[in-house]
């Protein structure tokens, strides 16, 4: 086990540079030929509070966080507050060490900064070390960093110590530091890296350490990318050059990446007064002929309900991204959950129509971001890309070639002025923008400023010119036409291959999931298969229009299905049953809503308890089993 994967956790205070240090180390591991996957845990705090990032690295593909971890680098929390200072969070100073012991595997390694952390404050620390066979290395990282000029360099010292203990050459770490650091701080950082490395090698006998860096090799160049990066690049490659938004965790990442890149591409980003305005701006820009997007997270997305409905009614192409976090209301801003599913599917009044896609991986996030734009513009319908804090923030290596694709800036069914002249118009010259009988329900549009194209876009029901109409015949014709678009989109999506399968086709049991839990479920299926359990999985991305027949085929092919999702109320299972109208006796749920994403072992144990043993009691995990209850 220890040679097969390294799961390195760096812990400290929010604001201590944990994220950047871990990102560079993940990249170094990737460059050394390994596959990597990161998981981050951080509090909703301005500064301070225990945070960690975990990097899982292995020669084999990794699509999920692991079960526990095997190497802890515990730094101090510079902003920690303690009870005597009136803090309500307990003794924060010791948390980078104390909070991370439960998940450390037997035989694991602990490097802690003895300049900041005193393990005698942790009850039974020595006893736990002995029981678990942990290898503990107290190092004065802060002192070393202070001696060399800057205390913040203790992160680098910790990385140097890590490399010494796991037998990792410094070459890739040093290369990365040269790429990422400005001249001024580079040399002292390189120096402290090597000093810490040498010091550990000299002072300790590292041969006893059971954790070592695996070796691997990539066949092609890899990129370390987050879901937020991938969504942004997908948008750019589809010709999106306008974004409007209002900051909100975790959607802010996509907003920031787009905002930083768009000016270079001659695009426009607008940070505006609220999310109602943000979505309305995207509608306005799209109406005027630009590929546009907006987005938010739960509460901010709620404010977008009305502009969303306006885009639907006026058939203005629009892409919104929704980065879910734990709700309701402000909920837990930095914690992932999938419980905005129903909100996104059903918000906005009337028989409204939209497309909702939920990518499962970083690679899919890029593809489905592009797909969201293509569908929105080809079918003149709002498309929502639904993801969460987990997928948005996790880093994973993806082959560079995955992004080597042609751009697609086309606006969909728009007309040139020559083509407009051939289209039906009213006697007064108004263009029939909303014709009744057209293929796939999509009626071509004009762009303001075009001669012969004027029409009225309105949220009221309207006739072919856009004029407000309450005629029953027109009403039925228009709503039928708009609805018809979803059937065409479903047929289109059937060729897109957005779903993900794992496990043998002829498996006895199934696991159904959606969005960001896909990688974890697939790893669990692999482990169950290795243990001789006959199970397969289906990760669904198309939430609306739903791939009813595909899911039906999957459910019918197995005896029982466990539906895995990060909600408390089984929203995805509900969606499956709503669309299929049966199989209620075959579908049970494994839910998790404690603020942390599933670990593969939780799915493995949950599946065994639910399906094999049948009582659903997976002790030791904070997951919930809900048995099948019929239709």
Partner 1 sequence: MSTFSAIGEEREIDRDEYTPGVEPQPTWCPGCGDFSVLKALKQALPEVGRSPEETLLCTGIGCSGKLNSYLDTYGFHTIHGRSLPVARAAKLANPDLEVIAAGGDGDGYGIGGNHFIHTARENHDMTYIVFNNEIFGLTKGQTSPTSPKGHKSKTQPHGSAKEPLKPLSLSLNAGASYVARTAAVNPNQAKEILIEAIEHDGFAHVDFLTQCPTWNKDARQYVPYIDVNESDDYDFDKTDRVEAAEMMRTTEEALYDGEVLTGRFYVDDERISYGQEKQQIGEMPEEPLAERYWDDDYEWERSYDRFVDKHE
Within residues 265-284, the interface with partner 1 by CB under 8 A covers 265-270, 272-274, 276-278, 280-284
Cα–Cα distance measured from residue 141 to residue 96, given in angstroms and rounded to the nearest whole number? 14
Residue 261 sits in the site that holds partner 1 (CB under 8 A): yes
CB of residue 218 to partner 1, shortest distance in Å: 11
CB of residue 234 to partner 1, shortest distance in Å: 8
For 191: left if phi > 0, alpha if psi spans -120 to 50, otherwise beta; the answer is: alpha
Task: Please name the residue that has the structure tokens 């070796």.
Answer: 215
From candidates 29, 109, 173, 236, binder to partner 1 by CB under 8 A: 236
CB of residue 363 to partner 1, shortest distance in Å: 13
Looking at residues 351 to 410 of the shown chain, list those that interact with partner 1 (rule: CB under 8 A). 400, 403-407, 409-410
Q: Pick the closer one to partner 1 by CB: 311 or 324.
A: 311
From candidates 174, 194, 306, 608, binder to partner 1 by CB under 8 A: 306
From candidates 127, 207, 422, 427, binder to partner 1 by CB under 8 A: 427
Residue 460 sits in the site that holds partner 1 (CB under 8 A): yes
From candidates 137, 242, 301, 583, binder to partner 1 by CB under 8 A: 242
Q: Pick the closer one to partner 1 by CB: 273 or 505.
A: 273
Q: What is the DSSP string of 548-603?
A: HHHHHHHHHTSSEEEEEES-SS-HHHHHHHHHH---TTTEEEEE--SSSPPPHHHH
| Cα 112 from chain centroid (whole Å) | 31
Q: Of the candidates 99, 98, 81, which has an alpha carbon nearest to the alpha carbon of residue 90?
A: 81
Task: Please name the residue that has the structure tokens 């998981």.
Answer: 39
From candidates 68, 459, 574, 584, binder to partner 1 by CB under 8 A: 459
| Cα 587 from chain centroid (whole Å) | 26
Cα–Cα distance measured from residue 407 to residue 382, given in angstroms and rounded to the nearest whole number? 21
From candidates 456, 477, 568, 626, binder to partner 1 by CB under 8 A: 456
Other C-beta atoms within 10 Å of 471: how many? 11
Residue 172 sits in the site that holds partner 1 (CB under 8 A): no
Specify the DSSP element, H or E, that contains 74: strand 69-74
Q: Which stretch binds partner 1 (CB under 8 A): 109-117, 185-193, 286-294, 330-338?
A: 286-294
CB of residue 413 to partner 1, shortest distance in Å: 13
Q: Pick the closer one to partner 1 by CB: 176 or 381.
A: 176
Cα–Cα distance measured from residue 581 to residue 575, given in angstroms and rounded to the nearest whole number? 10
Residue 245 sits in the site that holds partner 1 (CB under 8 A): no
From candidates 49, 298, 309, 317, binder to partner 1 by CB under 8 A: 309
Residue 256 sits in the site that holds partner 1 (CB under 8 A): no
Q: Pick the closer one to partner 1 by CB: 118 or 270.
A: 270
Q: Which stretch binds partner 1 (CB under 8 A): 44-52, 230-238, 577-585, 598-606?
A: 230-238
Q: Which stretch binds partner 1 (CB under 8 A): 57-65, 162-170, 235-243, 571-579?
A: 235-243
Residue 317 sits in the site that holds partner 1 (CB under 8 A): no
Strand partners, 39: 54
Q: Is 38 strand, coil or helix?
A: strand
Alpha helix (H) residue ranges in 464-534: 472-493, 518-530
Q: Pick the closer one to partner 1 by CB: 55 or 280.
A: 280
Q: Which stretch binds partner 1 (CB under 8 A): 51-59, 83-91, 451-459, 584-592?
A: 451-459
Specify the DSSP element, H or E, that contains 165: helix 154-166
DSSP 467: -
Strand ranges, E, within 179-316: 222-226, 242-245, 268-271, 292-296
Q: Which stretch binds partner 1 (CB under 8 A): 159-167, 452-460, 561-569, 576-584?
A: 452-460
Q: What is the DSSP string of 305-357?
A: HHHHHHHHHHT--EEEEEEE-B-STT-BTTS---TTHHHHHH-SSSS---EEE
From candidates 18, 196, 211, 225, binder to partner 1 by CB under 8 A: 225
Residue 448 sits in the site that holds partner 1 (CB under 8 A): yes
Q: Of the candidates 63, 50, 54, which has an alpha carbon nearest to the alpha carbon of residue 6?
A: 54
| Cα 421 from chain centroid (whole Å) | 46
Residue 285 sits in the site that holds partner 1 (CB under 8 A): yes
From candidates 290, 477, 568, 626, binder to partner 1 by CB under 8 A: 290
Q: Which stretch binds partner 1 (CB under 8 A): 68-76, 150-158, 353-361, 416-424?
A: 416-424
Q: What is the DSSP string of 139-162?
A: E-HHHHHHHTT-GGGHHHHHHHHH
Q: Of the candidates 430, 422, 423, which has an alpha carbon nearest to the alpha carbon of residue 458?
A: 430
CB of residue 239 to partner 1, shortest distance in Å: 6
From candidates 248, 292, 512, 533, binder to partner 1 by CB under 8 A: 292
Please work out, in degrees rounded to the nearest 5, the angle formed at the alpha carbon of residue 274 by the alpha carbons of 273 and 277: 90
CB of residue 283 to partner 1, shortest distance in Å: 6
CB of residue 398 to partner 1, shortest distance in Å: 8
Kindly tell me the sign of the dihedral angle through the C-alpha atoms of 595, 600, 601, 607: positive
Strand ranges, E, within 389-446: 395-399
CB of residue 374 to partner 1, shortest distance in Å: 14
Residue 175 sits in the site that holds partner 1 (CB under 8 A): no
CB of residue 415 to partner 1, shortest distance in Å: 11
Looking at residues 202 to 221 of the shown chain, list those that interact with partner 1 (rule: CB under 8 A). 221
Residue 302 sits in the site that holds partner 1 (CB under 8 A): no
Q: Is the peptide bond before 374 cis (omega within 30 degrees of 0)?
A: no
From candidates 227, 333, 393, 466, binder to partner 1 by CB under 8 A: 466
- Provide the token pair at 341: 């599913």
Binding-site string for partner 1 from residue 72 to residue 111, where x marks contact by CB under 8 A and - marks none: ----------------------------------------
Size of the site for partner 1 (CB under 8 A): 82
Looking at residues 121 to 150 of the shown chain, list those that interact with partner 1 (rule: CB under 8 A). none
Looking at residues 22 to 51 of the shown chain, list those that interact with partner 1 (rule: CB under 8 A). 31
CB of residue 450 to partner 1, shortest distance in Å: 6
Cα–Cα distance measured from residue 248 to residue 226, given in angstroms and rounded to the nearest whole number? 18
Per the CB < 8 A criterion, the answer to whether 384 and 296 are in contact is no
Cα–Cα distance measured from residue 369 to residue 391, given in angstroms and rounded to the nearest whole number? 13
Residue 464 sits in the site that holds partner 1 (CB under 8 A): no
């Amino acid at each position: 086990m220890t040679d097969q994967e390294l799961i390195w956790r760096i812990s400290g205070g929010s604001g201590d540079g944990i994220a950047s240090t871990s990102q560079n180390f993940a990249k170094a591991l990737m460059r050394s030929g390994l596959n990597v996957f990161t998981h981050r845990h951080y509090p909703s705090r301005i500064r301070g509070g225990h945070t960690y990032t975990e990097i899982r690295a292995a020669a084999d593909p990794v699509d999920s966080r692991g079960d526990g971890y095997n190497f802890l680098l515990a730094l101090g929390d510079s902003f920690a507050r303690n009870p005597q200072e009136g803090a309500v969070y307990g003794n924060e100073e010791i948390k980078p060490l104390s909070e991370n012991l439960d998940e450390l595997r037997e035989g694991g390694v602990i490097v802690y900064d003895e300049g900041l952390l005193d393990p005698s404050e942790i009850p039974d620390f020595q006893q736990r070390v002995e029981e678990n066979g942990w290898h503990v290395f107290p190092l004065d990282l802060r002192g070393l960093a202070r001696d060399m000029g800057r205390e913040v360099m203790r992160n680098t010292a910790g990385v140097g110590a890590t490399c010494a203990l796991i037998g990792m050459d410094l070459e890739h770490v040093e290369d990365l530091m040269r790429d990422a650091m400005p001249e001024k701080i580079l040399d002292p950082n390189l120096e402290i890296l090597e000093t810490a490395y040498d010091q550990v090698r000299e002072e300790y006998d590292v041969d006893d350490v059971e954790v070592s860096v695996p070796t691997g090799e990539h066949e092609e160049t890899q990129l370390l990318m987050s879901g937020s990066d991938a969504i942004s690049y997908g948008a750019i490659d589809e010709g999106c050059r306008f974004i409007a938004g209002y900051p909100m965790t975790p959607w802010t990442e996509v907003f920031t990446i787009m905002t930083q890149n768009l000016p270079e591409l001659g695009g426009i980003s607008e940070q505006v007064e609220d999310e109602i305005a943000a979505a309305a701006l995207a509608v306005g820009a799209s109406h005027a002929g630009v590929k546009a997007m907006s987005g938010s997270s739960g509460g901010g997305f709620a404010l977008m309900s009305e502009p969303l409905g306006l885009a639907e009614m006026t058939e203005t192409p629009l892409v919104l991204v929704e980065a879910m976090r734990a709700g309701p209301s402000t909920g837990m801003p930095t914690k992932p959950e999938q419980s905005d599913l129903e909100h996104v599917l059903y918000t906005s009044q009337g028989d409204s129509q939209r497309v909702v896609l939920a990518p499962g991986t970083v690679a899919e996030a890029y593809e489905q971001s592009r797909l969201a734009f293509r569908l929105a513009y080809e079918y003149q319908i709002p498309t929502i890309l639904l993801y969460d804090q987990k997928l948005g923030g996790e880093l994973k290596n993806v082959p560079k070639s995955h992004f080597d694709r042609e751009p697609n800036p086309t606006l969909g069914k728009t007309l040139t002025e020559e083509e407009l002249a051939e289209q039906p118009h009213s006697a007064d010259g108004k263009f029939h923008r909303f014709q009744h009988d057209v293929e796939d329900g999509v009626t071509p549009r004009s762009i303001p400023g075009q001669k012969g194209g004027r029409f009225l876009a309105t949220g009221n029901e309207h006739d072919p010119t856009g004029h407000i109409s309450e005629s029953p015949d027109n009403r039925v014709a228009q709503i039928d036409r708009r609805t018809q678009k979803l059937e065409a989109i479903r047929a289109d999506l059937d060729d897109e291959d957005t779903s993900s399968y794992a496990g043998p086709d002829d498996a006895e049991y199934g696991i159904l999931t959606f969005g960001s839990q896909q990688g974890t479920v697939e790893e669990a299926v692999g482990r169950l298969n290795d243990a001789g359990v006959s199970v397969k999985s289906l990760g669904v991305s198309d939430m609306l229009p739903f791939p009813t027949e595909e899911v039906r085929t999957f459910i019918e092919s197995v005896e029982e299905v466990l539906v895995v999702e990060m909600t408390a109320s089984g929203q995805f299972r509900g969606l499956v049953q709503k669309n299929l109208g049966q199989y209620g006796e075959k579908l049970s749920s494994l839910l998790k809503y404690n603020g942390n994403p599933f670990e593969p072992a939780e799915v493995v144990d949950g599946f065994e308890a639910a399906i094999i043993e049948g009582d659903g009691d997976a002790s030791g995990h904070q997951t919930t089993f809900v048995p099948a209850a019929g239709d």
